[in-house]
Structure 1
């Protein structure tokens, strides 16, 4: 028994180092609505379907109170949709510029394919958003075998497991224990755990780390190690089975998981 399928997140995992395309827009739409939000607040629900992300931000006690203070009443579902429409418009304007594959992704995907592993993907973006991302990422050399968006599973994105199940169905995966999900947010980890597959958090370039490539490279080795450890702890506390610093470590990790699967099988036979 061995891993047959690897399912990758998109922004912050495969493309868009630091996952800055949506974060910058979240900051802008709230500022335009008269409520200043922090980078940390904007990043916390990252990985969710974007309208759910906005809803989650509005439910945060500080933002909820600030909204009430500015608008004279609590937010409504109409406010959620107004913010989301504003978000969608702004994101679509800039999305194409955030589609560069992250270092090691293309090489790693080729290694996995050479080993007979299928490459699926899930995202918090909608179909319309992913039309832009997939086109430009493919032009730059990254194209998984399959993609599922929340739109395709009744808007039940992360932390629901249905996008993973859809990947498994189409890619012909036989068992959840033969599937690895790699992502850069706690939402990715929860999605994997809810689906019963291996949950792997990727650290460098992640939304959870929250740094651009330039910011990360400007840190001293000691500072880099500190933020790597901090991000690793967040993933582990969320239940990740494993973490990797970069995608370059994924093929070796899959060999480790394969060995673990074979050991478990031998124990079952005794």
Structure 2
């Protein structure tokens, strides 16, 4: 679902493209669609309990690899061995993934509403002639459910890459970001910005040679619902911000902001740096 006809404006910016993650970045404040489904898939597949925090821990990578990574968390591994007498196997992961997929497809549209000012920010980038790419830890069959609902809300990126579209694997490898570059006809990766709410997605941007922006409060690491975010006092927000800053800081993003609403200011700063011949 790549639409290169939507971007008819002359590019008035040195930035050629911005590539967004999906859950926790553009849609699904708090990234609850994948985390809650992981909890349910473990329960449905094996009657095994994991917490939301455990489900969140490896967020950003492809979903099969995510299930494997959850199984390797020391807390989960110990309980799994206690319950089943051995570590989680590839067959076990396949079984949980098989439970995950229909659950995710059934629920993902419920979490398709764009975050805060996301659509306005994206449309203002398009108006400058900047191309809008996107990539996700979701596989294609989930993206095929999510993207038309998000489009109904007004979010229509020029390119959508799913984690299983490429044989080389997902994040933190650069391939999904680079597939956007190729599909969108972008001339320089140094004139691209990758925006994500999880460390593997920021690392993906670095590995692709792009500017990177991490989102602290709308995504997986803060784990706040939209209502919690709106109603939180300053101390609660700062604690959530610090939790996310610790996790995202390990990926060394060029910029850390609370939500996509603050992205225009970052874009202006990157434009100035590019005009001064700086590179990511």
- TM-score interval (norm. to shorter): over 0.9
1:39 CA displacement: 1.8
Instruction: Report the counterpart of residue 144 of structure 1 in structure 2.
Output: 157
Identify the structure with the greater helix proportion: 1
2:248 to 235, 243, 264: 235
Do structure 1's residue 80 and structure 2's residue 93 form an aligned pair?
A: yes
SS of the equivalent of 2:116 reads coil
Question: Which blocks of at least 5 consecutive residues in structure 1 are unaligned?
Answer: none
Any conservation in 1 of the 2:50–2:76 contact (CA below 8 Å)?
A: yes
Q: TM-score, normalised by structure 2?
A: 0.90
Across the aligned residues of Structure 1 and Structure 2, the Cα RMSD in angstroms comes to 1.6
Q: TM-score, normalised by structure 1?
A: 0.94
1:231 CA displacement: 1.8
Output aligned runs, 1:213-228, within 5 Å.
213-228=226-241
2:111 to 98, 107, 121: 98
Superimposed CA distance per residue, residues 183-223 of structure 1 (whole angstroms, 9 cap, x where no aligned partner) = 11111111111111111111221111111111222321232
Do structure 1's residue 132 and structure 2's residue 145 form an aligned pair?
A: yes
Distance in structure 1 (CA, Å) of the matches to 2:224 and 2:41: 21
Output aligned runs, 1:26-65, within 5 Å.
26-32=38-44, 33-65=46-78
1:17 to 15, 29, 53: 29
Instruction: Report the counterpart of residue 9 of structure 2 in structure 1.
Output: none
Distance in structure 2 (CA, Å) of the matches to 1:176 and 1:239: 18
Question: Which blocks of at least 5 consecutive residues in structure 2 are unaligned?
Answer: 1-12
Distance in structure 2 (CA, Å) of the matches to 1:264 and 1:141: 35
SS of the equivalent of 2:101 reads helix
1:155 CA displacement: 6.0
1:28 CA displacement: 1.6
1:108 to 113, 121, 134: 121
Instruction: Report the counterpart of residue 14 of structure 2 in structure 1.
Output: 2
Q: Flag as ranges the 4+ runs of structure 1 deviating above 6 A.
A: none
1:142 CA displacement: 0.7
SS of the equivalent of 1:151 reads coil
SS of the equivalent of 2:164 reads helix
2:209 to 181, 196, 200: 196
Distance in structure 2 (CA, Å) of the matches to 1:149 and 1:251: 26
| Number of residues of Structure 1 aligned to a counterpart in Structure 2 | 266
Any conservation in 1 of the 2:39–2:52 contact (CA below 8 Å)?
A: yes
Any conservation in 1 of the 2:217–2:240 contact (CA below 8 Å)?
A: no
SS of the equivalent of 1:152 reads coil
Distance in structure 2 (CA, Å) of the matches to 1:77 and 1:233: 31
